[in-house]
Structure 1
Amino acid sequence: MSTPPPFSCTYSSGFAAVLHQLNLSLALSTYQAGKVILISPNDVQSIIQLPRSFGKAMGLALRADQMAIATLDEVILLRNSPDLARHYPKKPGVYDALYLPRATFFTGPLDIHDLEWGHDGLYAVNTSFSCICRIDDQYNFTPVWQPPFISKIAAEDRCHLNGMAMHSGRPAYVTAFGTGDTPRSWRPAVTTNGVVMDVGTGQIISRDLAMPHSPRLYPEGLFVLLSARGTLLQIEPASGAQTEIFQYPGFLRGLDRYGDYLFIGVSRIRPTSKTFSQIDDRFKAAPAGILVVHLPTGQLVGQLSYQTSVEEIYDIKVLPGLRRPNIMSTNTEEHKLGLATPTATYWAVPKT
């Protein structure tokens, strides 16, 4: 039997149909494969993938035509140029968007997880230093908040701070795997000691959670993925009341929304991982991929599953209105040939 090609996947008819119907593409990050993958509708029945190399890609942030990608030790800023996309020399007239690198922040190894733009800059969950920070060109990072139980900013991953929900341009809620104040104190009870915290008050609004990730604040309330239980949870911040919206036998991480549809990432648990060894076997076997959930009914309406290359997904972002986006990384020289000014764009001819 022949080996399937890289990034082989299967998907339901509903998955392609939803992307086509909603007129959108998806961007997902996989740090295990070191890629950002764009997934687009080819037609109502099929999709197109475009993987690009970004070392240990994790948090993704979108704002208008900008994209930011957290990698192993950098945050890379990209900007979409529809005009450069239309005139892309290798495939003119094919792409409706092209995200090109425009700047790189050399952060160092911060283990950045969630990444979001706010009113006053680019915010990152700095997991290594147990804080929320801003990323800019002044310092490697500027701490702006830390949990009250963290006594010192140190590269010790004390509580595995990982997720961040924004409200009115500011970090509003965060997720962590524990409340300890010593190096990697969260590991012994990784599946039972997770918390959701209110950034404004410093209070814990929900505790004893199973590896919470990807908090998102929507009009209906605060949504959180309990990764180790395959659960999408809705939390009422004022009371801490919890409502289970959806459950799936897999490790859920990465969440975005468009209209009534939620896009949720699934990761395959590494059998050799000590961190994940405490997770119930029921949630370890599912292949990596993407779930599409209809929020009003809580029903699974579409699914993509990877057969090769991708085992872990960290983040998912919706690219609304884009049917065939392209993206370039800094790993090749090609991105340097796309030139944009405020009034014009040019494709330079490579030197021979």
Structure 2
Amino acid sequence: MALRVIRLVIPSGAPAFTAANAVHKARVHTSSARSLRYGWLAYVLGERTTPRLKQYSKIISVDGNLASGKGALAQKLADKLGMLYMPEADTFYLDKMTGEKGPLSVDFNGMCSLEKFYTDPKAADGNSYRLQLWMYTMRLLQYSDAIQHLLTTGQGVVLERSPFSDMVFLEAMFAQGYIRKECVQHYNEIKNISICEFLPPHIVLYVDLPAEEVQKKLKQSSKPYLQNVPLAYLKSIEESYKKSFLPQISKSSELLIYDANQVQDIERVAEDIDYLKFDKGPWLEQDDVTYHHMRMLVEDKQHVASLTHIPKFLPEITIGAHEYDEKYYAYKSLPGKKYAPGYNEDVGDKFIWLK
């Protein structure tokens, strides 16, 4: 049985998390009626997207190698332009989407570990590829949250990386022998049937920091497992960015490249964005009809998640039926997970018989 990396419990239209450091501290998908879902009826009754789109109604992805300073840039830029900042999705992003009080076990979050990847990237249990596929799914879900927020409120979003740039890690893993060729083929098949459903970022900002400098910064990290990341792996990420991702994304998105010193001048970065013409890419072809269909897609998180699953055997992401059954019922036995949200007496839900 192929391992489904998404729990079958994402409520349709589930609200995303509120970023702890978000510039605007309201919930993602903020509106005066954020508890109401958008649907066909809303469109029939006159709900339209284009009237709320303004100058900075954009999706901006800030990319770069590990510890390149992209996070600080993204947060400052969001603050400067009045946009929503969404930190980079981690392996527990799904828990934040579903409003868990704390991270659940890795058994319910892709059965993978980032720490294990950096300490044992060639682990025989296939952790490296499970992590890569899980992170692509989390980035896809976060990107759907960003688009939903943009189209619902008109407020732009600044992200750290996106599912469009996720492939740089896959290429780096393969270059270093961490994953097999069959994993690359599987990933590309998954990406080809999923990424085509989404529009690329309006702007990609790339922070160019040499791999040698990245390694020096990682050695000063408070996380021990990041202090010994191989230089060859960091160079592979940098090479993939420059030879694969940046040339490709520049065809459909505005591309700005800065070195580590230039990104300190946030005024200059904001000014460069103001000078962009935005005269290319699929966003130019959109209207209220296509925005309507886009909103319907990104609101249905279960459908977005299902885009990353194909019935194909691959040892790295395949588990037996008994193990799957065991993990499924272990999840359902957690407090508040037996029934749909609002129907679980064990977590204090009231008046269930009236619902």
Question: In which range does the TM-score fall when normalised by the shorter chain?
Answer: under 0.3
TM-score by length of 1: 0.27
* TM-score relative to the length of structure 2: 0.27
Instruction: Name the structure with the higher strand share.
Output: 1
Greater helix proportion: 2
More contact order relative to length (CA 8 Å, sep ≥ 6)? 2
